[in-house]
């Protein structure tokens, strides 16, 4: 078994077998509720092949002075909408992402009156094509009416046309009134009032996700003050987390798994900060990590083609292992390329997508370490963990299971250093 695990870290990620990245996660070890205090969650530390532990409120003492922490400031939408049929049955619509040709999530969310969205639909088989479900919400300012119409059946989802009155309300306004917090599928309960606050980070700003960047759920304003006192800087990027983050790898080989694509937005000022930073850099969450590594490869692609078009900039699933694998430039050169491209395109914000998959065999360019939660077996997130720690991921997870750590979104976390 050990020999096979070691071999997995020397082959092309496409050839990895997902059965080598599984473990037994008892249901009772999944955290169904957050702890009363965000920063009281436990923190496992993997450093120099050693495992120790502390709690999140002491995380500043575990990080070097002069480090930079990069957070994902996306905000979770109330993406789960329930409609009641005349028969009394329920149609559940889970909004995923815009269906139109919007250049960014913000523009899509500014639509008023009507919008088309890709959605998952529960009870779709009982949704007659000519039936338009309607939901009426009574507010202090009057009634709000929301309707949903199937426009197209897609391969793995539906294109749903939402329309509402009053028409001047934006789609986030409607979701806030009509929707619910979309708890992950492994949390087997209905969303409660506490989830409205606790399934958001304290720094959430840019609406657009259907799942929280959960590593950040543990951070409090007190932690940020302690980080600042230790001369540890914070920076923010935006990657809107899609439902694909929960999708298990069902194919035997990773080559058969299609990685989900997600919206990515980063300010030029943040890229300049990455360019000028000289110390260790830690990603807070797998989404921040994927954003940072994607930025590096976008800078590489610009270096290869100074006239690259915006639609050619996104990082696809395998190109960093294939087309770009022999390209080696410094982080500073990559960030300079990005800043020049942003300037030449007369914008202050990089808006694009990434489909990058990070798995054993990947060489990290940007980070010194990762702060993250514990992830599901046979998931792309666990592959990312294994890319950082090598075969030691199993020792880390065994330690966590043997020592009572809480798993997944509302659970405890770990600090993993390269």
% of the chain at pLDDT higher than 90 = 88
| Judgement on whether residues 70 and 89 belong to the same structural domain of the protein | no
Structural domain contains residue 193:
no
What are the tens digits of pLDDT across the range 261-281? 999 999 999 999 999 999 999
Q: What is the DSSP string of 101-116?
A: --SSHHHHHT-BSEEE
- Does residue 297 share a domain with residue 377? yes
Please tell me the distance from the alpha carbon of residue 129 to that of residue 117, in angstroms, as a whole number.
17
Q: ∠ CA 245-247-249 to the nearest 5 degrees?
A: 120
Same domain for 207 and 329: yes
Contacts of residue 227, defined as CB under 8 A and 6 or more positions apart, other chains included, come to 59, 60, 63, 69, 233, 234
Is residue 306 located within the same domain as residue 244?
A: yes
List all residues 6 or more positions away from 108 whose beta carbon is below 8 Å from its beta carbon. Answer: 98, 100, 102, 115, 171
Say if residues 303 and 334 touch (Cβ distance below 8 Å).
yes
Answer whether residue 187 is part of any domain. Answer: no
Residue 161 and residue 219 in one domain: no
Which tens digit of pLDDT belongs to each residue from 349-382? 999 999 999 999 999 999 999 999 999 999 999 9
- 114 & 247 share domain: no
**27: domain range?**
2-75+199-417
pLDDT at residue 173, rounded to an integer? 95
Contact yes or no for 270/236 (Cβ under 8 A) = yes
| SS3 (DSSP) at 149 | strand
Whether residue 157 sits in one domain with residue 289:
no
Q: Are residues 40 and 91 in the same domain?
A: no
Sign of CA dihedral 324, 316, 278, 270: positive
Q: Is the dihedral of CA 342, 345, 348, 353 positive or negative?
A: negative
What is the rounded distance in angstroms from the CA atom of residue 273 to the CA atom of residue 276? 5
Q: Are strands 90-98 and 114-122 parallel, antiparallel or unpaired?
A: antiparallel
Predicted local distance difference test score (pLDDT) of residue 239: 97
One DSSP character per residue, 154-188 reads -SSSEEEEEEEESTTSBHHHHHHHHEE----TTS-
Residue 129 has what pLDDT? Answer: 72
Task: Note whether residue 189 is domain-resident.
Answer: no
pLDDT of the residue at 156:
83
pLDDT at 5: 52
Question: Closest by alpha carbon to 376, among 360, 345, 397?
Answer: 397
Q: Kindly give the parts of the chain with pLDDT less than 50.
A: 1-2, 4
| CATH number of domain containing 239 | 3.40.1780.10
pLDDT of residue 275: 98
Residue 188 lies in a domain: no
State which of 148, 180, 212 marks the end of a domain.
180
Whether residues 337 and 410 share a domain: the answer is yes
H or E stretch at 381: helix 380-389
The pLDDT score that the predictor gives to residue 125 is: 80
Clarify whether residues 101 and 220 are in a common domain. no
Do 8 and 33 share a domain, yes or no? yes
Name residue, tokens 């409120």: 57
Phi, psi of 135 (to 5 degrees): -130, 125
User: 318 and 370 share a domain?
Assistant: yes
Q: What is the pLDDT of residue 7?
A: 56
- For 117, residues 6+ apart whose C-beta sits below 8 A from its C-beta are 95, 96, 97, 98, 99, 159, 160, 162, 171
Is 105 in contact with 351 (CB distance < 8 Å)?
A: no
Domain count along the chain: 2
What is d(CA 387, CA 393) in angstroms, rounded to the nearest whole number?
A: 9
Spatial separation of the C-alpha atoms in residues 394 and 21, rounded to whole Å = 8
Q: Residue 1: what pLDDT?
A: 46
């Amino acid at each position: 078994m050990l020999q096979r695990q070691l071999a997995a870290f020397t082959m092309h990620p496409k050839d990895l077998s997902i059965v080598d990245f599984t473990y037994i996660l008892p249901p009772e070890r999944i955290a169904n509720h957050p702890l009363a205090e965000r920063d009281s969650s436990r923190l496992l530390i993997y450093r120099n092949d050693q495992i120790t532990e502390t709690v999140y409120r002491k995380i500043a003492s575990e990080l070097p002075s002069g480090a930079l922490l990069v957070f994902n400031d996306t905000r979770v939408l109330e993406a789960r909408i329930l409609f009641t049929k005349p028969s009394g049955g329920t149609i559940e619509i889970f909004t995923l992402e815009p269906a139109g040709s919007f250049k960014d999530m913000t523009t899509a969310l500014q639509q008023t009156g009507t919008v088309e969205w890709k959605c998952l639909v529960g009870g779709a088989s009982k949704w007659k094509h000519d039936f338009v479900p309607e939901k009426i919400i009574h507010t202090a300012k009057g009634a709000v009416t929301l309707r949903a119409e199937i426009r197209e059946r897609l391969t793995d989802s539906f294109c749903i046309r939402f329309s509402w009155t009053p028409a001047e309300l934006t789609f986030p306004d409607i979701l806030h009134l009509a929707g619910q917090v979309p708890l992950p599928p492994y949390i087997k309960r209905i969303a409660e009032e506490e989830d409205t606050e606790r399934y958001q980070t304290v720094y959430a700003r840019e609406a657009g996700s259907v799942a929280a960047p959960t590593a950040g759920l543990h951070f409090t304003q007190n932690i940020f003050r302690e980080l600042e006192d230790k001369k540890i800087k914070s920076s923010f990027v935006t990657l809107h987390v899609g439902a694909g983050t929960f999708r298990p790898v069902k194919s035997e080989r990773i080559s058969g798994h299609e990685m989900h694509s997600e919206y990515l937005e980063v300010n030029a000022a943040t890229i300049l900060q990455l360019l000028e930073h000289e110390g260790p850099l830690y990603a807070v969450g797998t989404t921040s990590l994927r954003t940072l590594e994607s930025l590096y490869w976008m800078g590489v692609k610009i270096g290869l083609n100074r006239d690259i078009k915006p639609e050619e900039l996104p990082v696809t699933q395998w190109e960093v292992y294939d087309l770009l694998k022999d390209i080696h430039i410094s982080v500073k050169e990559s960030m300079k390329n990005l800043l020049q491209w942003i300037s030449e395109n007369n914008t202050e914000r990089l808006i694009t997508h990434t489909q990058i998959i990070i798995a054993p065999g990947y060489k990290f360019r940007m980070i010194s370490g990762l702060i993250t939660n514990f992830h599901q077996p046979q998931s792309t997130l666990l592959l990312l963990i294994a890319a950082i720690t090598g075969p030691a991921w199993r020792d880390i997870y065994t330690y966590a299971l043997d020592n009572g750590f809480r798993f997944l979104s509302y659970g405890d976390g770990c600090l993993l250093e390269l």
